[in-house]
Amino acid sequence: MTAATAQLITSPDQAVPVAAELAREFAPGAAARDRDRQLPYVQLDRLASSGLLAITVPAEFGGADLGPSVVTEVVRLLAVADPNIAQIPHSHFVYLNLLRLAGTAGQRREYFRAVLGGARIANAQSERGGRTITDISTTLRPVDDEFRIDGTKYYCTGSLFADLLAVLTRLDDPDARSGLPAGEYIAYLPARTPGVRIVDDWNGLGQRTTGSGTVELDGVRVRAEQLVPRAQALAGPTAYGAYAQLLHAAIDTGIARGALTAATEFVREHARPWFEAGVDRAVDDPLLIQRFGELVVTVATAEATLTAAATAVDSAIRAPLSGTDEQTAAGQASLAVATAKIVADRAAVDVSSALFEVSGTRSVAADLNLHHFWRNARTHTLHDPVRWKHHHLGRALLHGTPPPAHGTF
């Protein structure tokens, strides 16, 4: 495995300014990269070398061990600048968390060291053809003293830029020859492992440069020490799903702020006032001012709700050390994140659409590609349906039913 040398970030006071500086660097070219589908290899190298991808590595392995709230702010800042870049490290942080919760000491040592050096992890998780997204047909079968993986994965965000792939597999071992319990495992394998083929075939409406293509696995050999049992991260009050969902909400919240910023700049510089307003500048149109005020409230609400959810996930992660009831803390975190996800979903789609409403006809010019905010919002918010967030929030309130413990809540 090869990875760029990365700086070492040691505190939130260092991490957030670094993310803000990268966001300022990435923002000017975001629309053009999306329009022309220019994959952000250079930007991802900058992100890896900045040290931001290693901020969650535990202190015992040489990292800063920064909490979910810091990662959330980093992702949100990147999403304001370029939602494509912000989504790419989502799985990276999720699968580092899986290692923290379920990896052996040897696995944590190996993979955390690689990430400190700049290595990037991408997912190879989703499949097609099953009854639901939880049906996994990619098999993990014992062969001699190793295992063989066969299957095809889709929507593998970041796979084009990855050093490591985190592949979701199902142990197929009817004779129990492996000595491992049945269930789902994440295989951590170098992206250049023989039998792995990464296909650049993502053709979605939005998030066009996330590298979310197909990963084909044909007779891929892995060792037992590359396998991490997924159930261990989901068993008990780990807040694993809440952490993953929190970062999705950060992306959507960032899109909302980015769209509002773009609308503000366009109206200030290019928009003409409606003739009935009786003003010389669009920014002096009283109805336009009113509409911008409404959009400010929408975005600020999403940001505040995201901050509250991040604080709740921080508390859930710290619960074992603080003496707080872990089950209660994890449940509260999941419900807070569900609320943030709903608010962020609505803000991202509504504000990115309102961009054209307040900016006028000139804003729809294809060369400007201002519609990338809406396309990115509409695409990313399809990740998991917020109607189920409403459902679980309602059940918790009316029935006292705790939220589900799975990877999307």
What is the predicted pLDDT for the residue at 215? 98
Are 88 and 210 a contacting pair, CB within 8 Å? yes
Query: What's the pLDDT at 202?
Result: 95
H or E element at residue 215: strand 213-222
- Encode pLDDT of 203-249 as tens digits: 999 999 999 999 999 999 999 999 999 988 888 789 999 999 999 99
Beta bridge partners of 171: 140
Predicted local confidence at residue 2, as pLDDT: 43
Q: Are 212 and 156 in contact (CB under 8 A)?
A: yes
In 125-174, where do the E strands start and end?
A: 139-143, 146-156, 164-171
Could you give the C-alpha distances from 23 to 41, 223, 302, 348, 374, in angstroms and in order?
15, 39, 19, 18, 19
Q: What CATH number matches the domain at 139-230, 2.30.29.30, 3.10.310.30, 2.40.110.10, 2.40.10.10?
A: 2.40.110.10
pLDDT digits (tens, 9 = 90+) for 259-303: 999 999 999 999 999 999 999 999 999 999 999 999 999 999 999
pTM summary value: 0.95
pLDDT at 176: 67
Residue 252 CA to residue 56 CA, distance in Å, equals 21
Question: Distance between CA atoms of 53 and 95, rounded to whole angstroms?
Answer: 12
Fold observed for domain 12-119: Butyryl-Coa Dehydrogenase, subunit A; domain 1 (1.10.540)
Q: Indicate the domain borders of the chain.
A: 12-119, 139-230, 239-399
Coil, helix or strand at residue 103: coil
The segments of the chain whose pLDDT lies below 70 read 1-4, 174-176
CATH architecture of 239-399: Up-down Bundle (1.20)
HSE-CB of 139 using CA atoms within 13 angstroms: 10
- Outline where 360-385 has alpha helix (H): 372-380
Instruction: Please provide residue 133's backbone torsions phi and psi, each rounded to the nearest 5 degrees.
Output: -70, -15
Q: What kind and span of H or E run contains 76?
A: helix 68-81
β-strand pairing of 146-156 with 121-124 = unpaired
Calpha distance 282→273 (Å, rounded)? 4
Specify whether the CB–CB gap between 116 and 180 falls below 8 A: no
